[in-house]
Amino acid sequence: MILEPGEDELPREEAEKVFSKQREWGELKKTKATLKQCADATRSWLWSNGSNPEPSDKDVEVAWWPLKRPVTKDPVLLETRRVLLRSLAYDYGMTRFLTGLVECGALPKIHPERLDEVLLASSYFGLHQVIAFSQLKMLMPNEYEVLREQKKVNLAETARLFGIEGENRGTHFRLKKLMRFANLGLLSVVPGTGQELEIEIGPTGREFFASVFVPTLDHMSLFEQ
């Protein structure tokens, strides 16, 4: 079953109906099986350091993780290499994972601009923060509730995690980025207290981080083997 996308700038009531259908999509056995299948395939490709066409020359293929990685003990170089590994694993892994889900019929065709938005540094940071909250809620509910008293995980605060500021940041986030990310299963929206909506990591996002991104960081070596 394909995830049916919602449109930008839907009225809140209509948007919530779309979010509800998207949550149902994430609970389907077929969806979970497809997510796992694509995650396994993506992880296998990353671990083998598969090649990808060079953006400037489609006839030249390059390994996503540089093959020449000299040993160093310099702490600055080590840290920059760790940052580079995380960045490349996210960019190449997310691209291949989402593309695989489209090919499997789980997601609709993704416009290049929407993929570029997912790969932005602000999106990378925002998704990391959201999955941290979601994992805490699932694994350490008591600690999560304490944190909730100090920091809300609502539209306005989540917007800041994705680099959106201003008085109307919550509305801007809901009308634009939130729907786009929910359309890919990267974020899920659940009813909160009162009129609030709570943002959680979506099924696509959870599968990517748990089965592709984190295992790849553990597997790949910083140095040439």
Angle, helix 29-47 to helix 75-103, in steps of 10 degrees: 140
Q: Where are the domains of the chain?
A: 12-219
Tens of pLDDT, residue by residue, the chain (225 residues): 677 777 777 777 888 888 899 999 999 999 999 999 999 999 999 998 866 655 555 566 668 998 788 888 899 989 999 999 999 999 999 999 999 999 999 999 999 999 999 999 999 999 998 998 888 888 887 877 776 665 555 677 788 888 888 888 888 887 778 889 999 999 998 876 555 678 889 999 999 999 999 999 999 988 775
Phi, psi of 215 (to 5 degrees): -60, -35
Cβ neighbours, 10 Å, residue 51 = 12
DSSP lists the bridge partners of residue 82 as none
Cα–Cα distance between 102 and 175 in angstroms, integer? 24
Largest CA distance in the chain: 56
User: What is the pTM for the complete model shown?
Assistant: 0.88
Angle, helix 29-47 to helix 12-27, in steps of 10 degrees: 70
Cα–Cα distance between 64 and 45 in angstroms, integer? 10
Cα–Cα distance between 181 and 162 in angstroms, integer? 11
